[in-house]
Amino acid sequence: MDKTSSKLKVRPIVEAARESAIYIDERRKGIVSSLSTPWKKYNQVAMGGIEWGTIHTIAGMSGSGKTAIINQLETHLVTKNSDVTVLSFNFEMLARNLVSRKFASALDLSTQELHSGIPDYNLDDENYNRVVEAGRSIAELPIYYVEEAGTVPQVEKTIIEFLNEHSNVVVMLDHTLLVHGNKEERQILVDLYTMFNKLKKATHEVGKKVSFVILSQLNGDIERAERQAEPSQQFPKKKDLFGSSAAFMFSDVVMVSMNPEQMGFESYGPKHWPVAGKLYWHFLKVREGEPCVAVMANKLKYSRVEDCETY
């Protein structure tokens, strides 16, 4: 039978009501909880962290900390939450370099110190032995990388086959513009988000758990001199996300990381917030909450972002 012409499943509301009541009860009793992230503020905004069956989009300009965020997040997810596996599609960076950033974060060393090999930064034996020791722990983490870029169907097939062997999976993809295809880039994004949305529903039906964290870029409008010169226009807006329609339609959380110091600002936004050592996380969409801005501590030298209690 042609599946495209078959009838779609119809469910009475009583089934959904029963499922909702059970889920609410399990959440209040702590039987079911979201996956915690490394950041108290993210957890506060996003209902405890990353809830199973959700899509989180993290966007930003180059230098805003996106790769550090997702690298830090994947390590935290598998070490601070039980029975979680990460499948990470890294189409931009080598997995080797991503792991080097884990070393940098764990050891308070910069990647320049780890990689350069030049006299001013050459890594001594003591610190190299620290790297080796940290590597033994990192090697045991249930994190799997896909470095080869592919099409949306190839990404989907890879996830499905991975889910055949793992039950609780957080899929990460860095970044959306490197997904291949013959269609226009924005249509590829629509197909990608549609596929993720389909998978989260399908896996729920068979007792699997999956969530998605997607890295995306901003378009060039936010870098226009007119916007940068006007404090009220410095904050990111929905239209600044590349493929914003798909991201906002399917994502449960959309967060934009901004690094105003890297952009050359002396202060940030209409209230002239400080920029030295700060990142600003703009939560533009929170399906179960309110949009807001969180100030974070910029530790990107060590491939980390930390909570910042005060300005």
What is the pTM (predicted TM-score) of this model? 0.87
Q: In the prediction, which pLDDT does 1 show? A: 43
Q: In the prediction, which pLDDT does 107 show? A: 76
* Tens digits of residue pLDDT in 259-302: 999 999 999 999 999 999 999 999 999 998 899 999 999 999 88
Q: In the prediction, which pLDDT does 308 show? A: 87
* Tens digits of residue pLDDT in 52-69: 999 999 999 988 999 899
Is the previous residue joined to 175 through a cis bond, with omega within 30 degrees of 0?
A: yes
Q: In the prediction, which pLDDT does 119 show? A: 63
d(Cα 212, Cα 200) in Å, to the nearest integer? Answer: 8
Per-residue pLDDT tens listing for the chain (311 residues)? 455 678 888 999 999 999 999 988 988 898 888 999 999 999 999 999 999 999 999 999 988 999 899 989 999 999 999 899 999 998 766 677 777 777 777 777 777 777 766 666 677 778 777 877 777 778 889 999 998 888 899 999 999 999 999 989 999 998 655 565 566 777 888 899 999 999 998 887 777 899 999 999 898 889 899 999 999 999 999 999 988 888 999 999 999 999 999 999 999 999 999 999 999 999 999 998 899 999 999 999 888 999 987 65
d(Cα 59, Cα 37) in Å, to the nearest integer? Answer: 17
Q: State what percent of residues in the chain have pLDDT above 70.
A: 92
Site of tokens 């078959």: 6
Kindly list the distances between the CA atom of residue 76 and the CA atoms of 1, 23, 37, 86, 260, in Å, as whole numbers in the listed order. Answer: 45, 25, 6, 10, 26
Which residues lie below 8 Å from residue 173, measured CB to CB, with a gap of 6+?
Answer: 88, 89, 91, 155, 179, 192, 212, 213, 214, 215
Whether residue 228 contacts residue 263, with contact meaning beta carbons closer than 8 Å, is answered with: yes
Running DSSP on this structure, what letter comes out for residue 122?
Answer: P
Q: In the prediction, which pLDDT does 139 show? A: 84
Tokens of 234: 């410095």
**Run of H or E including 258:** strand 253-258
Tokens of 239: 């239209």
Q: Produce one character per residue of 201-230: b if its CB has 16 or more CB atoms within 10 Å, e if not.
A: eebeeeebbbbbbbbbbbeeebeeeebeee
Query: What structural domains and CATH numbers belong to the chain?
Result: 34-307 (3.40.50.300)
d(Cα 64, Cα 42) in Å, to the nearest integer? Answer: 16
Q: In the prediction, which pLDDT does 56 show? A: 97
Q: 3-state class of 198 per DSSP?
A: helix
How many alpha carbons fall within 13 Å on the CB side of residue 273?
22
d(Cα 161, Cα 168) in Å, to the nearest integer? Answer: 13
